[in-house]
Amino acid sequence: MTFQKNAWYVAAMASEIDDKPLGRRICGLPLAFFRGEGGQVAAVEDWCPHRGAPMSLGKVVDGKLVCGYHGLAMGCNGKAHSMPGQRVGGFPANRSYPVVERHGFIWLWPGDPDKADPALIHQPVWSGNADWAYGGGLYHIKCDYRLMVDNLMDLTHETYVHSTSIGQAEIDESPCRTRTEGDEVITSRFMENIIAPPFWQMALRANGLPDDQPVDRWQICHFTPPSHVMIEVGVALAGHGGHEAPTDKKASSLVVDFITPETETSIWYFWGMARDFRPGDAALTDSIREGQGKIFSEDLEMLERQQQNLLEWPGRNLLKLNIDTGGVQARRVIDRMIAADSAGEAEVTSA
């Protein structure tokens, strides 16, 4: 197993699950998501105990997921609730998984249900805060989720992959610093007295600031398990304190990355941006989402081809340079979490 099981993963944007079920594989598990009574989301194995059809091809009736083949109705707990003309008491139940709707996402716990404490769900800074707005999207990428963690914990790739928007040579030239705080890994880079690249010039203009003046730029990447990366990014007019500059001297936001394994070599990548300026401006949210979507789509080919190369040369080691420290430390946390999963399972077995 290459991913942590006892953890909350983003399985979907809340808006993806409406009155119809959603079939999606998460951490190797084929699941059917649907809204039961009162709109509460449930996740059950995507299998009808009657004839093996995918439940996600069915529909939701009165809070039950009804198989689209012969009408077996299943409750949120995965048990057959009813079926026309049948007594369902003896039917085998589907496994159901802990699932919570929070912060605009559907969170899934693929591991031991007894440990699925909703208090462990990632708490985004923007959620429930009227000063902030959030917009984002979803990409499917055929790569190991840890390659995306590596990608986001080493932003020198911006200079090459995103050279026309957020990349600039100064990223490469400025050293980064990585530290670990418990299970969190933080990699930060500060660039002083530089010219902002195109994306940030646009952001400066949007904030009523000049786009041709030297700025201080920062990137502070926060990895937390199982596979979330939040990145504080921004520029301030040079000499006003950079990351600590007053609001009227800077443009900044939070890049949000929830990376969810679909299989060992593919992911659901929930990307987005949160900001604490003009939070009510929906047109701005749309515009930022569109721009970010274009930039982030530039990573897809590189990550998928990198994955193919790793499968082609399975014996080769990757280098771990200082710029890779964030990813290396994040993988250590991941390995520790996976080991804790196994230890927990061993306890259960020996009990």
Positions in the binding site for a second copy (CB under 8 A): 30, 46-47, 49-54, 57-58, 66-71, 83-86, 91-92, 150, 154, 156-157, 159-161, 169, 172-173, 175, 301-302, 305-306, 308-310, 312-313, 316, 318-319, 321-324
Q: How far is the CB of 284 from a second copy (least distance, A)?
A: 31
Strands (E), 47-102: 59-61, 64-66, 73-74, 80-82, 96-97, 99-102
CB of 307 to a second copy, least distance (A): 9
User: Alpha-carbon distance 9 to 107, whole Å?
Assistant: 5
Contact 199, 287 (CB under 8 A): no
Q: Nearest-CA neighbor of 111 among 176, 215, 46, 29?
A: 29
Q: How far apart are CA 60 and CA 141, in angstroms?
A: 29
Q: Of 143, 285, 160, give the one whose Cα is nearest residue 227.
A: 143
Compare residues 253 and 325 and give the one whose CB is closer to a second copy: 325
- For the bound state, the minimum distance from the C-beta of residue 332 to a second copy, rounded and expressed in Å, comes to 17
The gap from C-alpha 19 to its chain's centroid, in whole angstroms, comes to: 24
Closer to a second copy by CB, 30 or 104: give it: 30
Closest CB 30 distance from a second copy, rounded Å: 6
Least CB distance from residue 157 to a second copy, whole Å? 5
Shortest distance (Å) from residue 269 CB to a second copy:
17
In angstroms, give the least distance from the CB of 248 to a second copy: 33
Q: Where are the alpha helices (DSSP H) in the chain?
A: 145-153, 158-161, 169-173, 198-206, 282-312, 325-350
If the CB atoms of residues 51 and 278 are measured against a second copy, the closer one turns out to be: 51
**Residue number with CB closer to a second copy (147 or 255):** 147
Locate 139 and state its tokens.
């990409």
Q: Which of 73, 251 has the CB closer to a second copy?
A: 73
In terms of CB distance, is 46 or 216 closer to a second copy? 46
Bond prior to 226 in cis (omega within 30° of 0)? yes
CB 141 within 8 A of CB 267: yes
Beta carbon nearer to a second copy, 253 or 329: 329
